[in-house]
Structure 1
Amino acid sequence: MEAVFIYIAKSAVLMLLFYCVYFFLLRRETFFNSNRWFLLSGLIISSILPILSYTKVIWIDVAPNLNSNIQSALLSAPEKQSSDNNWSFIILGLYVIGFLIFLLKLAVDFYSLNSIIKGKKVKQQADFKFIDTEENIAPFSYFEYIVYNSSLYTVTELENIIEHEKVHSDQNHTIDVLISRFFSIIFWFNPIVWLYKKAISQNLEFIADSEASKKLADKKAYQYTLLKITTHENCVAITNHFYQSLIKKRIVMLNKNQSKKRNSWKYYVVIPALAAFVLLFQIEVIAKERPQIVNENESNIKSVDVYKIRKNSTDAELNEIKNNLQKNHNIKFEASDVRRNSSDELTSIVVDVTKGKQRAKSVQSSDKAINEFGVLVITYKNGDKKIGIQTINDSNNKESKVALSKGITSVNVNTDKKNDTNSPSSDSHIIITNNPNSKTDTHVNINSSTSTKTNSNTNTDISTVVTTDSDSKTSTKITIVGEKSNIAFSNSAKKNKAEGSPLVIIDGEEMPANYDLKRIDSKHIEAINVFKGEDAISRYGEKGSNGVIEIELKVGDKHTKY
């Protein structure tokens, strides 16, 4: 409802703009035909321009208490909205009543016109249809029809009248009259539309007077004819009739010298005014919350699916994985460079998985059987999906490598089995080597979490890699899921909180507790070692209870202080 009122208000403003330019600058000029198109374009622009708008998006960082502000606003909204709706319906009801009244008046005028034309003898001459009626009405034209009562005028007067009406008919002035009439019905409440309608009709008479006087030998006789008909009161609406008020102005314009062409600059005054209108009212500014990159946790995840590829996987099984990924997740799966040994075990395979701009790739090639891995699909509660490669560690697998997209060259998951293989306190750490061509920063966050179950319904410890396109604003996550901890690597620039943050060691030097990792440019990093649990405590004592991040800088950057 509010949108309708705004549209009507904007249209009224534009109509007022064109009318003011015409009234103050153009109505005394003899550019009658130009004025005609100027006035018509004003009506068309005033009806179309308010619909057109340009949307400008402004990204904002939302304050922490924004949600509470929104909730309080929503709680107070219903009462105010209910009150506004009551007034809206009242105003709408008044508008509809006025609209129906003027629409009914238009129907009556059409009926009156039809009763005058219908059944009358029509004399065809060129493109005109002449009707000589016996009714006491003023001469008028309606499209190709020209109606008059010849008994009321002399031969000379009738000639002047017919030439005048021919101009109206030949230039289709009836269309202008109908357009202005329809606008006066739609915007009946706006006084400007009635002045605008009058200006259009008056200018049409100026055009007809000017063109008719050029074809007549006696210009003064034409003016006397105008004066004779000023007392005629019987006129048909929605037509161009010879009788019009303001006869004095018509005679003045007939005798006025032609305006100089340099005065045509006045038409262009409306252009900067229209530009100002667009800038002020037609640019819609939308504030959007800047995407917040946060650590992922199980509360946001709906499901985790892993499609395992083992050393003895057959071509049929690979094809089944491909079909399931396409069918269930709309993910494209390609397996190439597939080779097997004499025991029919996979020794070489390249797996390329893509979904939109996301891409994950695994390359394995050696003389021995491949390390088992899986295609990982994380489905979030909001329907989004992320893809990656899951490396599956076992007692025979000391090191697994996964190829990633931009930002990280490789991820090595090293496990030294100091204790029993089933012990959760096994010595393990992760080394991340940055791509020197990447401009993205690598940040490390350590969070407490429980283990994530795969679709195999086991609690197997996994190393998860989730990659996204470098042009995407979403974070790239690498999650190592163990029995008691969750380590996530993200290229977000979110500052670590001092409380519960890991101990940061750069080239052997301990950093302060509130140290901000985003101060480090990833191009200077040679490697990152992450220690967790008992392993971190055994190396650094209680200071390592929240985990330890060891960062080794490149040789040329050893002197750099952070």
Structure 2
Amino acid sequence: MEYLIFIAKSSLVIALFFICFQVFLRNETFFKAKRWFLLAGIFVAMAFPFLIITKVVFVTTPVVDFNKLTNTVVNQSSIESINWWLVTLTVYAVGCIFFLGKFLVQLASLFSLINKGTSTRVGKYKMIEVTADTSAFSFFNYIVYNPNLHTANELKTIIKHEELHAIQKHSVDMLFTHLLCVLQWANPFAWWYKKLVSVNLEYLVDNTIVSNQNKKEYQYLLLQQSVHSVASLSLTNTFFSSLVKKRIVMLNKSKSKKYNMLKMGVVLPVLLVATLTLNTQVVAQTKPTIDNKETPTKPLLNIAADSILPKKIAKKTTQIISKQPVSKRVTSNIKPKTQRDSVKTVQNKYNFQIVTNDTLMLKPVSMTTPIGTTTTTTTNGSNFISKKPLILVNGEVMPSSFNMNLLIPENIKRINVIKNESAIELYGDRGKNGVVEIITKK
């Protein structure tokens, strides 16, 4: 699934660069800048899926009372549905392999043609004369041509044209675009992008040649050679193509103003919007119970009018909020040490209650009952002691110290609660306090 998302996002970036080029830059004459714009589009498309903006959202994790959950039956014989993501990925991978094989065949044909020709080194270039009926082309430092298809004057211009392709390393651009089409074979914009890169390279070389040569003679050469019906290798930059008319039109266009290059920046806000829309990842975190602005709230006490509470307890653990008279006097055995001292020992029970902050329920306690005990008061007044159930996360037994509040609710697929005999039957003595099976999203 991640691979398909990568392909979808990178295909979107290629489409954005293609549309921006066609709308704002197609008729401009700064061909070198346009070349780097198109190359940047390929690299941005490959990097865009990895540019993730993380947004942290704090959530409150609910507290689950396992004693109030009912038993659930897990159907072990559930039938798995068809994984359409896997099917789509398989089909797409087969397409990538097919077009990669086609690309490798083209490379093999190119090198086979080079090896069959007569090689002559001229400077740092290898001039390859072939007898095949093919247009002249260059591939890195190789310049391949058929001398029988051109006059001496035509051949001189053609070789100069291909030398410029070799000097400016245009073969690198074409390799990148072919690999882009292999990776995004299902994206029509990728194939149009490849043609766009090829045509712009031809414009770039044509513009360089006419700066040192008669423009009319060069145009006449293009028209003369356009009538030749010759085969060409799609991997290479061909001198003759059906785009001769567009090349001649571009040669006669007025030079674009430099400030028109600012049009290339129009793609930046579009990419920013795409990043904020598609590459923003929301990460949920448990909201901390204590922060710099909040202080922990102490349990509250309701104390009867005649009850006496030791000062140490009142200061350290509680807040006295009210005194309530009772019908019967609460008796206690008090043995003060002096008249100034507080009560030292207390027997039996004081008449006061604790209001817990979690459940807002009242719990009668005695002086021997520690605050924070596991004893819990239910809504009907009955008390019980919560026992730790056996917790399994994705089939793995969690330690007794495992805190359920650490789990993020959005990551939980389902929770199965098994109690009583069913739990003991499945998990033995470990399940006597109940079993909680947690299955997370994978």
TM (norm. structure 2) is 0.66
Is 2:18 the partner of 1:22? no
Within a 5 Å distance, the mapping from 1:78-117 to structure 2 comes to 82-83=80-81, 86-117=83-114
Is 2:159 the partner of 1:162? yes
Can you give the 5+ residue segments of structure 2 that lack an aligned partner in the other structure?
Answer: 325-341, 354-364, 369-442
| Structure 1 counterpart of 2:224 | 228
- Tell me how far 1:276 sits from its aligned partner: 1.6
1:498–1:25: structure 2 CA closer, same or farther, 3 Å change rule? farther
1:144–1:90: structure 2 CA closer, same or farther, 3 Å change rule? same
Within a 5 Å distance, the mapping from 1:106-505 to structure 2 comes to 106-216=103-213, 218-230=214-226, 231-292=228-289, 493-494=296-297, 496=299
1:198–1:536: structure 2 CA closer, same or farther, 3 Å change rule? farther
Letter in 2 for 1:511: I
- Tell me how far 1:270 sits from its aligned partner: 1.1
Letter in 1 for 2:230: E
Is 2:322 the partner of 1:512? yes
State the distance in 1 between where 2:135 and 2:33 align. 28
1:31–1:537: structure 2 CA closer, same or farther, 3 Å change rule? farther
CA contact (8 A) 2:137 2:237 kept: yes
State the distance in 1 between where 2:90 and 2:63 align. 44
1:498–1:510: structure 2 CA closer, same or farther, 3 Å change rule? closer
CA contact (8 A) 1:133 1:149 kept: yes
State the distance in 2 between where 1:90 and 1:509 align. 64
Structure number with higher strand proportion: 1
What secondary structure does 2:83 align onto? helix
| Structure 1 counterpart of 2:351 | 542
Deviations 1:162-212 (A, max 9, x none): 121111010000000000000000100111100111100110111111112
1:498–1:13: structure 2 CA closer, same or farther, 3 Å change rule? farther
| Structure 1 counterpart of 2:55 | 56
Letter in 2 for 1:41: A
- Tell me how far 1:275 sits from its aligned partner: 1.6
Deviations 1:93-131 (A, max 9, x none): 211221121111112111111111114322222222111
CA contact (8 A) 2:138 2:144 kept: yes
Letter in 1 for 2:204: I
- Tell me how far 1:232 sits from its aligned partner: 2.7
Give the share of equivalent positions with the same residue, in percent: 34
State the distance in 2 between where 1:38 and 1:4 align. 26
- Tell me how far 1:542 sits from its aligned partner: 2.5
Can you give the 5+ residue segments of structure 1 that lack an aligned partner in the other structure?
Answer: 294-438, 442-491, 515-530, 549-562
1:496–1:142: structure 2 CA closer, same or farther, 3 Å change rule? same
1:495–1:212: structure 2 CA closer, same or farther, 3 Å change rule? farther
- Tell me how far 1:245 sits from its aligned partner: 2.2
The aligned length equals: 326
TM (norm. structure 1) is 0.52
CA contact (8 A) 1:537 1:543 kept: no
Deviations 1:57-96 (A, max 9, x none): 222112346999xx99xx89x979x43x621222112112
State the distance in 1 between where 2:204 and 2:65 align. 63
Deviations 1:354-375 (A, max 9, x none): xxxxxxxxxxxxxxxxxxxxxx
| Structure 1 counterpart of 2:46 | 47
| Structure 2 counterpart of 1:332 | none
Letter in 1 for 2:216: K
What secondary structure does 1:62 align onto? coil
CA contact (8 A) 2:133 2:230 kept: no
- Tell me how far 1:494 sits from its aligned partner: 4.9
CA RMSD of aligned residues (A): 3.7
State the distance in 2 between where 1:537 and 1:34 align. 92
1:161–1:498: structure 2 CA closer, same or farther, 3 Å change rule? farther
Letter in 1 for 2:21: Y
CA contact (8 A) 2:116 2:130 kept: no
| Structure 2 counterpart of 1:523 | none
Moved over 3 A (4+): 63-68, 494-500, 502-510, 534-538, 544-548
Letter in 2 for 1:493: P
1:278–1:159: structure 2 CA closer, same or farther, 3 Å change rule? same
1:213–1:440: structure 2 CA closer, same or farther, 3 Å change rule? closer
What secondary structure does 1:235 align onto? coil
